[in-house]
Amino acid sequence: METFLQLIITGILVGSIYALVALGWTIIYKCSGVLNLAMGELTLLGAYVCLAFYTWGFPFPVALLATLVVGFVLGLLTERLFLRRMIGQPVLAVIMITAGLSFFFRAVVGFIWGTDTRVFTPQVFPTEPVRFGKMVLGQVYIWSFLAALVLLVIFVAFFQYSRWGLSMQATADDEMAALSLGVSAKRVYALAWAIAFMAAGVGGTLLGNINGLNISVGHLGILVLPAVVLGGLNSVPGAIVGGIVIGILQNLSGGYLEQLTPGGVKEIAPFVFMVIIMLFRPYGLWGWEKIERV
């Protein structure tokens, strides 16, 4: 029972980081209907940017804040240079642009920082584990969970109460109606990409503190996809719940099934779960079901 509880709790802690990255997926899809295939590379790029600031002597909270600022600017530039001219084009063409961006960002990271595993030195979080009875939890998981939780609350509050957050929701619900009320779709799309960069960068930074930072962090974007599909591609609460559920599922499969197989179950299990969910709930648990009448 102690092992089971530890796997559940650790899954929740890691799942909160997945939820943060899943939020970036959802925001872009919600506003533009585009699956951003470069999400993993946004995660990778943001993590290395934070590592650079930390290496230059910035305290970690300041480095994280600077990463958010850089992510915001990079998101605006990416939308302006590569995606704005694609407005009105077929969705598949825009998705292919994001696929090209994923290779571009990965190449940029490899050119600047190389492909060797990097760690935050000195360590950001204490190495002494926290004990709850027979359960042992690393402080890096606990602090990463708290940081992700704070940012998730900030992002959700932004969507619910700020003028631009409400504009993004209006554009997602009915673009033509939002345009008639004076909402700038171009600014909304740019802001969506900026927030996606910010969320992905922080998620990558927190994961880099847990497992070390290398080019494989970019695979996180695809790993988080089951969480997005589970919650519903256009549901912000669904992205948060989906991230936590996938974190728990991944931990349980790794704890109980990998000893029965050669390995790799931990990475495959979320996708198997995603396929099963899609067979019965193609739009996810909280996604919008589109009904077309002819």
Distance CA 265, CA 275 (A): 15
The CATH code belonging to domain 2-159+188-280 is 1.10.3470
Q: How far is the C-alpha of 175 from the C-alpha of 183, rounded, in Å?
A: 9
Residues constituting the chain: 294
Task: Return averaged pLDDT per consecutive 10 residues of the chain, 294 residues in all.
Answer: 84 90 86 84 92 93 94 92 81 88 92 88 84 80 88 84 78 69 78 90 89 82 84 82 90 82 80 85 70 51
| pLDDT at residue number 289 | 60
* Tokens at 153, concatenated: 């609350």
Q: Is 291 helix (H, G, I), strand (E, B) or coil?
A: coil
Q: Is the dihedral of CA 150, 152, 155, 157 positive or negative?
A: negative
Q: What global pTM score does this model have?
A: 0.89
Q: Which of 269, 228, 234, 250 is nearest to 22 (CA)?
A: 228
Rounded CA separation 136/287 (Å): 36
